[in-house]
Amino acid sequence: MTAHTALDDRARRRSIGFINWAHFLDHYVILIFPTVVIGLEAVYGRSYGDLLILSTAAFTAFGLFALPSGWLADKWSRRNMIAVYFFGTGACCALVAASDSFETLAVALFGVGLFAAIYHPVGTPMMIDAAVTRGRTVAFNGICGNIGVSIASGCTAVIVSALGWRFAFLIPAAVFVVSGLAYLRFTPNDGGRRVVQAPDQDVPLSKPLTIAVVIMFLLLAFWVGLVFNALTIMLPKLVEQRVADISLAKAGALATAVFLCGGMAQFAMGRAVERVVPHLVMSLIAAIQVLGILLALYTTGWWLLPSLALAVAAIYGQVTVNDIVLARYTPPAWRGRIYAIRFFLIFTMAGPAAWGIGWLYERGGFQVVLGVGAWVAVIGALNTFVISMLVTGVENRRKAQRREAERAQGLAQPAE
């Protein structure tokens, strides 16, 4: 290995390391407020529902600004956009901590969502370009984001209990700014980028069937986004309210444990799709998701935790499997745009989910929230089953053609 090649390889590895760290922070920061809001009820004298609606702007911005962020990065600089992500998100976190009114709090939260929206449409293409072993690199990057989701509740609860709610935003603000400075210091240019073409593993579909599958997947992103964001947002409060009398710190720790079940499910799903046709795994996991939400609807106390663990594992697993299935049945030339729209739909649903939780909670508590969530999950499962039906015939024909080719090859072999 030449000195120049070694330098490029180190630059590539540093770039991937920062992108993974940015993914972790991105999912962590967007979930600080759903835990902090539990303690703010006493501070502001407002209900959980009223306070949670404040975060609607942040979650909406998180999805809404994904598309323009990707466009701006292509026109300007991906590296610089990631720097803007670090510094902008950190500044807005500090503004949240300094807010003393509902109006400034809402504006600051909107800013957090706006700058946090930069990561996915900018960081993901950077990570894919820099990857040499793309599969493992992409998988680890996804795990980094899910760890951020998993520990956000627990870490935030500990900080709030020990130092107060403002430090739950001040500490991440400092981390973001320091990360931005380190990023500019150690990735001074775009050197080390290397585009690696992934193997084409698409299943050929007719154009009408391809369009139908893509449309159904984008519709599925709407339902998945609602359920994923709703359960992620309300889980800390749900645990705090329905489990036996526990402190905020314990509620956050238990929520973190439940979220970690989702991370483990992603490992399991990655192995499952290597052994079973992916669209069948997708259908099974969608059914398990419905079961988990229904169990959470009718359980309380410590029995609530395994129910939530099952629901979260299914939701996280479904996101992973859906990505694999979507890549399997869409042409490579379409993937970038389709994934961009899919991210946009999933993350944009966080805003309506936050608003809907607050609105429904005020009218019937979590019993109503979970009931509506179960119906949304059922619709999503039916959407999944339709996709499976559309591609089952194609998969069966592929198997038949493979058996026919193997039979013909066997007949063509000369006798011993």
Question: Which tokens sit at 80?
Answer: 């610089």
Task: Please determine, for residue 32, whether its predicted confidence score (pLDDT) is greater than 80.
Answer: yes
Q: What is the pLDDT of residues 313-333, one digit of tens each?
A: 888 777 777 776 776 777 655
Percent of the chain with pLDDT over 90: 12
CA atoms within 13 A on the CB side of 347: 28
Specify burial of residue 109 (Cβ count, 10 A radius: 0-12, 13-18, 19+): buried
Question: Which tokens sit at 65?
Answer: 């600004």
- Provide the angle, in degrees to the nearest 10, between the axes of the packed helices 102-116 and 56-64: 20
Q: What is the pLDDT of residues 354-376, one digit of tens each?
A: 778 778 888 888 788 888 888 98
Cα 324 from Cα 318, distance rounded (Å): 10
Cα-Cα-Cα-Cα dihedral of 225, 112, 162, 174, to 10°?
130
Q: What is the pLDDT of residues 341-356, one digit of tens each?
A: 777 777 777 667 777 8
Q: What is the pLDDT of residues 85-132, one digit of tens each?
A: 999 999 999 999 998 877 788 889 899 999 998 898 788 777 767 766
Question: Which tokens sit at 381?
Answer: 């499962």
Task: Please determine, for residue 21, whether its predicted confidence score (pLDDT) is greater than 50.
Answer: yes
Residue type, 203: V
pLDDT for res 112: 92
Cα 72 from Cα 63, distance rounded (Å): 15
Q: What is the pLDDT of residues 150-188, one digit of tens each?
A: 788 778 888 888 888 889 999 999 999 999 999 998 886
Task: Please determine, for residue 406, whether its predicted confidence score (pLDDT) is greater than 50.
Answer: yes
| Average pLDDT value for the chain | 77
pLDDT for res 178: 96
pLDDT class of 201 with cuts at 50, 70, 90: very low
pLDDT class of 340 with cuts at 50, 70, 90: low
Task: State mean pLDDT over 31-35.
Answer: 82
Specify burial of residue 108 (Cβ count, 10 A radius: 0-12, 13-18, 19+): buried
Q: Which of 42-51, 83-92, 144-153 has the lowest mean pLDDT?
A: 42-51
Cα 132 from Cα 390, distance rounded (Å): 34
CA atoms within 13 A on the CB side of 178: 8
pLDDT for res 94: 94
Answer yes or no: are the C-beta atoms of 54 and 99 closer than 8 Å.
no
Task: Please determine, for residue 47, whether its predicted confidence score (pLDDT) is greater than 80.
Answer: no
Q: What is the pLDDT of residues 234-278, one digit of tens each?
A: 777 777 777 766 666 666 677 777 777 776 776 677 667 667 777
Task: State mean pLDDT over 30-42.
Answer: 76
